[in-house]
Amino acid sequence: MTRKKGGGRGGRGGHGKFRQKRSKEEWEAMKRENPDLAKQADYKLAPKQNAEFETYYQGIGIVPEEEWDTFMTSLRKPLPTTFRITGSRNQAQELLKIIKGQYFSKFMSRGDGHPTLEPKSLPWYPDELAWQIDFTKKEIKNDQNLKRLHRFLMSETESGNISRQEAVSMIPPLLLEIEPHHKILDMCAAPGSKTAQLIEMLHNDENILVPEGFVVANDRDNKRCYLMTHQVKRIQSPNCMIINHDARVLPNMATSDDENPQFVKYDRVLCDVPCSGDGTIRKNPDIWKRWNVNGALNLHGVQKKVLQRGLELLAVGGRLVYSTCSLNPVEDEAVILTLIKQCEGAIELVDVSDKLTGLKYSKGTYSWKVRSRDGTWYETKEQAPEHFNNKWETSIYPPIILEAQDAKLERCIRVLPHQQNTGAFFIAVLQKTKELPWNTKVEKTAEQVIKQRIDPEEAKKLQSEYEHFTFNFTCNRGRTSYAKCNLCNTMCSARNDFTNHLSGRRHKASLEKLELETEKKIKTEADEDGDVKMETKQESVDNENKEGNGTVTSGTTDDGNTELNGNHVNVKTEPGTSVSIKEEVDTASDEPPAKRSRPNNDGEIQVRFTGHREDPFYFCAKNDPIWPSIKNFYGIADTFNIQQVMYRNMKRILYYVSEPVRNLVINNTDRVKFINLGVKCFSNAPSPLVPDCDFRLSQDGLLAIQGHIEGRRVLLQKQDVITILSNENPFICKLTSKCQGDVYALDPGSCLFHFKPSESDPEPNVEIVFCGWRGKTSVRSFVSKDERSHYLRICGVELSDIQSEVQKKKEARDDDEPGPSGTETPMLVPSGDEAELEQWNKVTDVPRGLEVDDTEDSRLSFPPVPVDNDDKNNDDDDNSDGGGNNGAEAADG
Ligand SMILES: C[S@@+](CC[C@H](N)C(=O)[O-])C[C@H]1O[C@@H](n2cnc3c(N)ncnc32)[C@H](O)[C@@H]1O
């Protein structure tokens, strides 16, 4: 019998009959007729109470008794609004000036009987770039007086210049102290608010257009990876890649395709693990209903394994931040302490108390208790009944005081909601001081082992008995600290892990596979004389990987062991050969190489990743035939490496990635499931006006590549920026005389507009670079409407100044009068009411080429409308090119 999704009382995510979708009217009727039922059905109306939650946290003692009531009261209130100003330092400072001057000052004291807005900058966030307003998002949205602020926040968020993020969630990236050269791993990254912050920090130095470092953002949930793509895309960084793996077994990434490749060790790791989330109860009131003590107990194991893998991938000297939005020590200190003990001095908690000046928080706790669902408290494993201990891990119990002191657990940070009106959060900063004990390269010989063992006879016996294992007896007071299975690359950290592994399916399968492989090798490599060339077992496994038939990557599995990670892609091979992605791309051709991911029956080895199947990533070859025309047309310097340009399906949209990102992709396609990377830098949009080049610049990747572009650059004065951005297609003669000269000197086609502050034109104190089009008699910009608004704001333009023009245009449209030929079209900037905003969206999103034409004959010369339907790399809502179908909107191009 199958149960309907979401149906059934107590079913996963369902509140039985209450959980059906209702229209607004139905809700209203239900509230009138049966308020009790309505309350139960709507978690927003349900009482914010949970007796088990209260008893538990009162019993645990992380909130001082005298603060308990304030703590509970604050948990029941909705969250205030917080945001960060992003972007390069200069851009951020300019926007900050505008926010303070034009938005906040007006709302500081409204004098209309309403409470004032009182925005506060978060004292612990550098340069006044993070702000809190004690109004909820909804209050801001619904208050007529705050409409303008609301629209500003929305528009600047969409253009990526501010990020609406919970205050506490900004702390972990901050504590990672990112520098431009850092290799950064975000293990559980979706939906990506912290990833975005990490990428921004990587790009903090505006003198470095493409930093050396990179961000690998991973999430196990395939769908959430796509959510993250949207979040990350706003930042337009060629230094980031999104991958899709279980963080417990996150594959190693090779830095080369040598026989013995080096694997990436990250300088910074963010381990923002899945958690019970009770710290987000203010934002997610449904947690009141479903919280119980088992939530944390269930997650403790996963959290430990993700952290363990993070520490394995961290470079010695590197820093890892572990964080949860849970208040529960079982998910917090218990996880940290376990790993500190397990790592035997290789990691330590960092004291960051001086890094967060002004943040109120509680220090990590030394003691807690474990509670079962029947309400019994346990302080030690010994107190708990056997059935309880069989179910839960030993590491959930509190430590003895000395252990907690040794580990310096007080260095952990727990932010409580009432301390400064935020969500609750836990953060621990760890430093890796030496290699982890189970990763040390020196493996003990049987003789050494015997010397250090309490029971040398048993060690000797074990070592000779289990040929695939290496035993390490060097620590833990003479007890076996681990046995490593060299066959499966599995770490067994306790005696029962070892026996479980031996009898487990994985080990048996590996043994069988090894036998089969050895047999096969013996057969195929027997020469005519019957000589047999034997391979070592390790070589056999290595070769297997090179052929794309399984990848040896270590990772930690459900049972805490490290295993072979069977993540795979389809690698097209002729029988007996292996084709690397490098070889494919070096064969320059206009056609994409054969699809690597398409299975076929001859010679292709099919190996699978989970989730949505991704199109492959192809990199252009050095001598790629598409390149000379682009290079010549835009005057691209020789410093630009065409091999960093990538495409996915057809060479219609070209993406740019940083060099380290490219190298990681080409060396790891058979190990890693890449979801998204690169920024769009060129797209194919042929025009009869531009016979020499079919590719047009794209705003997304412009900042990353503009340093290499020597031609087709028009220097603007501030007045020109305003003219171009506030009109759809202004005549060239409306530009300043110097600018007119530059534009007339260009042939029609895609170009780059550049404003640099100078002595004569000092404001705004920030460079502005955007894509545009030089038509026959007019120019236009190719940037999204939100970006246009942003740059105009930076230039000090009050959008309402051109409101009347919008109104005129709107009226003309309403009367169904076509726009007069030979006139330029005023920009449609949103002003006051929703209707106008709607109109703005409508108009700027529709291809309007013919309508806004500025010369009679140019109507005939519109380029065919290129539809970016193979732009799968980025998601569908790409409006960065002025919205609508690319190219077709060009004024007269
Ligand atoms: C707390 S959320 C991360 C929030 C994110 N860091 C941010 O700031 O937007 C936890 C994430 O972990 C992911 N996740 C759960 N189990 C995982 C696993 N075993 N490996 C990797 N990701 C996992 C979930 O899909 C979820 O997106």
* Across 411-425, 505-519, 595-609, least confident range: 595-609
Most confident of 56-70, 80-94, 449-463, 756-770: 56-70
Residue 436 has pLDDT above 50, yes or no: yes
Q: How confident is the model at residue 518 (pLDDT cuts 50, 70, 90)?
A: low
Catalytic residue among 325, 492, 739, 795: 325
Q: Which atom of ligand 1 is nearest to the CA of 325?
A: 1
Average pLDDT, the chain: 77
Report which of residues 479 and 725 the model is more confident about.
725
Q: Which atom of ligand 1 is nearest to the CA of 250?
A: 20
| C-alpha count within 13 angstroms, C-beta hemisphere, residue 174 | 21
- For residue 889 and ligand 1, the question of a CB distance below 6 A is answered with no
pLDDT score, position 609: 64
pLDDT score, position 797: 86
Q: Where are the alpha helices (DSSP H) in 485-626?
A: 495-503, 505-525, 537-546, 581-586
Per-residue DSSP letters for 631-680? HHHHTB-TTS-GGGEEESSSTTEEEE--HHHHHHHHHHTTT--EEEE-EE
User: Which residue has a Cα nearest atom 17 of ligand 1?
Assistant: 220
Contact (Cβ atoms closer than 8 angstroms) between residue 751 and residue 770:
no
Which residue do the tokens 């928080």 mark?
361
Six token digits for residue 691: 């016979």
d(CA 240, ligand 1 centre) in Å: 17
Nearest to 716 by CA among 756, 758, 762: 756
CA 313 to CA 266: how far, in whole Å? 6
Angle value at C-alpha 676, between 769 and 631, nearest 5 degrees: 45
Mean pLDDT, rounded, for 789-814: 70
- For residue 192 and ligand 1, the question of a CB distance below 6 A is answered with yes
Nearest to 823 by CA among 809, 837, 839, 836: 809
pTM for this prediction: 0.74
Active site residue 733: no
Report which of residues 7 and 256 the model is more confident about.
256
CA 174 to CA 272: how far, in whole Å? 13
- For residue 198 and ligand 1, the question of a CB distance below 6 A is answered with no
Q: Which atom of ligand 1 is nearest to the CA of 169?
A: 8
Q: What is the pLDDT of residues 639-656, one digit of tens each?
A: 999 999 999 888 899 999
Angle value at C-alpha 492, between 487 and 494, nearest 5 degrees: 155
Q: How confident is the model at residue 350 (pLDDT cuts 50, 70, 90)?
A: very high
Six token digits for residue 303: 């959290």
Domain boundaries defined on the chain: 81-164, 168-363+401-436, 439-505, 581-606+614-677, 711-861
Residue 276 has pLDDT above 80, yes or no: yes
pLDDT score, position 176: 98
Helix (H) or strand (E) run with residue 309 in it: helix 294-313
Q: Identify which of 165, 171, 174, 188 to mutate to test ligand 1's pocket (most ligand atoms within 8 A of the CB).
A: 188
- For residue 274 and ligand 1, the question of a CB distance below 6 A is answered with yes
Contact (Cβ atoms closer than 8 angstroms) between residue 777 and residue 731:
yes
- For residue 190 and ligand 1, the question of a CB distance below 6 A is answered with yes
d(CA 222, ligand 1 centre) in Å: 11
Contact (Cβ atoms closer than 8 angstroms) between residue 339 and residue 308:
yes
In 253-282, which positions are buried (b, 16+ CB within 10 angstroms) versus exposed (e)?
bbbeeeeeeeebbbbbbbbbbbbbbbbbbb
Residue 735 has pLDDT above 50, yes or no: yes
Residue 224 has pLDDT above 80, yes or no: yes
| C-alpha count within 13 angstroms, C-beta hemisphere, residue 103 | 21
- For residue 270 and ligand 1, the question of a CB distance below 6 A is answered with no
Q: What is the pLDDT of residues 299-333, one digit of tens each?
A: 999 999 999 999 999 999 999 999 999 999 999 99
pLDDT score, position 6: 36
Q: What is the pLDDT of residues 550-571, one digit of tens each?
A: 322 333 333 333 332 222 232 2
Residue 479 has pLDDT above 70, yes or no: no
Report which of residues 102 and 447 the model is more confident about.
102
Mean pLDDT, rounded, for 29-44: 67
* Across 7-11, 30-34, 812-816, least confident range: 7-11
Q: What is the pLDDT of residues 363-379, one digit of tens each?
A: 999 999 999 999 999 99
d(CA 219, ligand 1 centre) in Å: 6
Task: Give the distance, in angstroms, between the CA of residue 314 and the centroid of all CA atoms in the same chain.
Answer: 18
Which residue do the tokens 């403790």 mark?
300
Six token digits for residue 289: 């209903």
CA 845 to CA 386: how far, in whole Å? 65
- For residue 704 and ligand 1, the question of a CB distance below 6 A is answered with no
- For residue 809 and ligand 1, the question of a CB distance below 6 A is answered with no
Residue 507 has pLDDT above 50, yes or no: yes
User: Which residue has a Cα nearest atom 6 of ligand 1?
Assistant: 189
Mean pLDDT, rounded, for 720-729: 93
pLDDT score, position 522: 54
- For residue 193 and ligand 1, the question of a CB distance below 6 A is answered with yes
Mean pLDDT, rounded, for 470-484: 56
d(CA 602, ligand 1 centre) in Å: 39
d(CA 272, ligand 1 centre) in Å: 7
Q: Tell me what percent of the chain is helix, strand and coil, each rounded to the nearest 5.
A: 40, 15, 45
- For residue 224 and ligand 1, the question of a CB distance below 6 A is answered with yes
Distance between the two ends of the chain, CA-based, in angstroms?
62
Distances (CA, A) of 366 to 54, 324, 334, 336, 732: 21, 18, 9, 12, 71
pLDDT score, position 107: 62
Residue 875 has pLDDT above 60, yes or no: no
d(CA 299, ligand 1 centre) in Å: 12
Percent of the chain whose pLDDT exceeds 70: 69
Q: Which atom of ligand 1 is nearest to the CA of 324?
A: 1
Six token digits for residue 299: 């997650």
* Across 34-38, 73-77, 137-141, least confident range: 34-38
Most confident of 227-241, 473-487, 502-516, 557-571: 227-241
pLDDT score, position 144: 79
ipTM computed for the complex: 1.00
pLDDT score, position 239: 98
Superfamily of domain 168-363+401-436: Vaccinia Virus protein VP39 (3.40.50.150)
Those residues whose C-beta lies under 8 Å from the C-beta of residue 92, and which sit 6 or more positions away, are: 85, 86, 127, 129
Those residues whose C-beta lies under 8 Å from the C-beta of residue 830, and which sit 6 or more positions away, are: 151, 789, 799, 836, 837, 840
Percent of the chain whose pLDDT exceeds 90: 53
Q: What is the pLDDT of residues 582-593, one digit of tens each?
A: 222 232 333 333
pLDDT score, position 834: 41
Q: What is the pLDDT of residues 158-193, one digit of tens each?
A: 888 999 999 999 999 999 999 999 999 999 999 999
pLDDT score, position 592: 32
pLDDT score, position 510: 81
d(CA 36, ligand 1 centre) in Å: 36
